[in-house]
Amino acid sequence: MRVVIQENYDKMCKWAADYIAARINAHRGDRPFVLGLPTGSSPLGVYAELARMNKAGAVSFKNVVTFNMDEYLGLPREHDQSYWYFMWSNFFDHIDIPKNNVNILDGMAKDPEAECARYEEKIASLGGIDLFLGGIGVDGHLAFNEPFTSLTSRTGVRVLTSDTRIVNSRFFGNDPEKVPAKALSVGIGTVMDAREVLILINGHNKARALAASVEGGVSQKWTCSALQTHPNAIIACDEPACGELTVDTYKYFLDIEKAERL
Ligand code: GLP
């Protein structure tokens, strides 16, 4: 696992956007580049930078197919807190991606489990995900895979913990009861099947989750820790998120990244 430590949020986002654009630009072959994407505040700077690069002609999304990580169960697309709404207003409306290349789980599906099975099949039919960009929750959840979700889980319906509903209530008038109780989410196994995984971890409130992801054992309690067994996982983080790492760990990753740049 690589851990790329950047001084602040903006630098972390710039690093991640450059990395994603380079991967898209290097992609060759008949099949499109398949990109997994998250919502949340963490990726906002990455989306803004990728949109800027797209307008400047530095990267195109015409041959990119996207799959979003998750969606609230029971929220229609038009709801301003649906992840569909978030993705179009913060990213897809600002880049040259063809509409049909965007895949987001349908939170209003009549049969949610069938919708999740369809999603897995579609990912497989496109040859799998090349790069999965993600963020994590303060409890280390990846997508909506809360603590104690199986590390081999596939796309399915998830129950949100009280902690997550409290954290996400900032978008629902600070009322945790207004946060949907369930969501559709790719599984940890779905993320782990991607050829590369790039996770953004920023801010003091994610320091415990970063330490658990990197220094703790692989454990269902911190579902993000599954990344330790991925052959190509990168965590891009900022300085404030490093607060709970040991000094040795911190220095070790700085050394490795210095060597990467030589
Ligand atoms: C939500 C999403 C996650 C996201 C997390 C962190 O719970 N389901 O995919 O990573 O929030 O969000 P933020 O980046 O705003 O901290």
The tens digit of pLDDT for each residue in 99-153 reads 999 999 999 999 999 999 999 999 999 999 999 999 999 999 999 999 999 999 9
Report the distance separating Cα 35 and Cα 200, nearest Å.
15
Q: What is the pLDDT, as a whole number, of residue 260?
A: 79
For residue 199 and ligand 1, the question of a CB distance below 6 A is answered with no
Residue 29 pLDDT > 90, yes or no?
no
Percent of the chain exceeding pLDDT 70 equals: 100
- pLDDT at residue 262 greater than cutoff 80: no
Mean residue pLDDT across the chain: 97
pLDDT at 261 over 90: no
Residue 202 in contact with ligand 1 by CB distance below 6 A = no
Region of poorest pLDDT, from 162-171, 182-191, 203-212: 162-171
Give yes or no for residue 45 CB within 6 A of ligand 1: no
Give the distance (Å) from ligand 1 centre to CA of residue 29. 33
Placement of tokens 């895979």 in the chain: 145
Q: Whole-model pTM?
A: 0.97
Task: Write the pLDDT tens digit of every residue in 209-254.
Answer: 999 999 999 999 999 999 999 999 999 999 999 999 999 999 999 9
Give the mutation target among 138, 141, 202 for probing the ligand 1 site: most ligand atoms within 8 A of CB: 141
Where does the chain have alpha helices with state H? 9-26, 44-55, 83-90, 112-125, 162-168, 188-192, 207-214, 247-261
What would the DSSP string read from start to end of 76-134? -TTSTTSHHHHHHHHTGGGS---GGGEE---TT-SSHHHHHHHHHHHHHHTT--SEEEE
End-to-end, the C-alpha distance of the chain in Å comes to 19
Q: Is 143 in the pocket of ligand 1 (CB under 6 A)?
A: yes
Q: Is 135 in the pocket of ligand 1 (CB under 6 A)?
A: yes
In short, whether 137's Cβ falls inside 6 Å of ligand 1 is yes
Taking the centre of ligand 1 as the mean of its atom positions, its distance from the CA of residue 135, in whole angstroms, is 6
Which residue has the least CA distance to atom 7 on ligand 1?
Answer: 137
Mean pLDDT of 159-171: 94
What are the catalytic residues?
A: 70, 139, 141, 146
pLDDT above 90 for 259:
no
Q: Which ligand 1 atom sits nearest the alpha carbon of residue 134?
A: 10
